[in-house]
Every structure is written in structure tokens, then in C-alpha cells.
Amino acid sequence: MTMRTALLSTRIAIVFAMTGLLIALFAVLAGRASLARPAGAAEAGAKVSIDMFAFTPETITINAGASVTWTNDDGAPHGVKYGDGAPGNDYLLPGTAFSRRFDRAGTFDYACPIHPYMTGRVVVRGGE
């Protein structure tokens, strides 16, 4: 094998190794987003769009027993972490959605765990 052929073989091996690492990274991120659904599968009800690194609307008001669906319409991954400690979604990949049902009245603050300056609020009326 000539020096040039050996160098080319090394470069090809590096490209394959890096491709494997990227595939593994995407698999890990996809696994962390397992609670998310494709945006088309979002249920009816109140909706919050994640776009341009902001929740829109920032505050949404619903009745007790209703659900809110967050849809990531941005090009970057985001998440929804609740101030009341309820399970959220750490990695909401672009084009996916996540829903939570609110059964009791109150004010529920949330933020993006990846971009903590992104905040929002769900106000729930009525209830038990």
C-alpha cells in the first residue's frame, strides 16, 4: 500500500467513525424525546407554539380538565419543565408535540430546560 492510499484509507475510517458518533448522538436524543409525538398527532384543545425561542402565547387560560399541547415549530430542540414538579419533556425536537392535562385550578409556570429564559404560564380556572 502506498503512502497516499494509506492516508486516504485513514481519512475514510475517520469519516465513518464520525458518522457513527453522529448517529449514536441522534439515537440518544430521540430516546430522550420518547414522550413527544409528531406535531400532526397533537390532540385538540389549547395550543402553545414554540417558535423563535419563545412560547406563544406566553400565558394561556383553560378550564380544569383541559389539556395544553406544546408544539415545537422552531428549528432547535426545546423542552417543557414545570415549576410544580410535574413530569415534563426535556427534549422536544423540532416538529414534535407534548401535551399535559390540568385537572385542578391554579397557576402553573413552566420554562424550557434548555433555554431557561424561555418561560410561560398556564392559568387553570374552576375545578374540584
10-20 confidence digits (pLDDT tens) = 766 565 555 55
Q: How far apart are CA 98 and CA 56, in angstroms?
A: 15
In this predicted structure, the answer to whether residue 5 has a pLDDT above a threshold of 60 is yes
For residue 88, what are the contacts with CB-CB under 8 A and spacing of at least 6? Answer: 79, 80, 81, 82, 98, 100, 110, 113
Which residue would you say has higher pLDDT here, 31 or 18? Answer: 18
Mean pLDDT of 65-72: 96
According to DSSP, residue 74 is labeled S
What is the distance of C-alpha 24 from the center of its chain?
Answer: 19
pLDDT at 8: 65
Please list, residue by residue across 43-52, b when 16 or more beta carbons sit within 10 angstroms of its beta carbon and e when fewer do.
Answer: eeebbbbbee
Q: Is 85 helix (H, G, I), strand (E, B) or coil?
A: coil
pLDDT at 19: 55
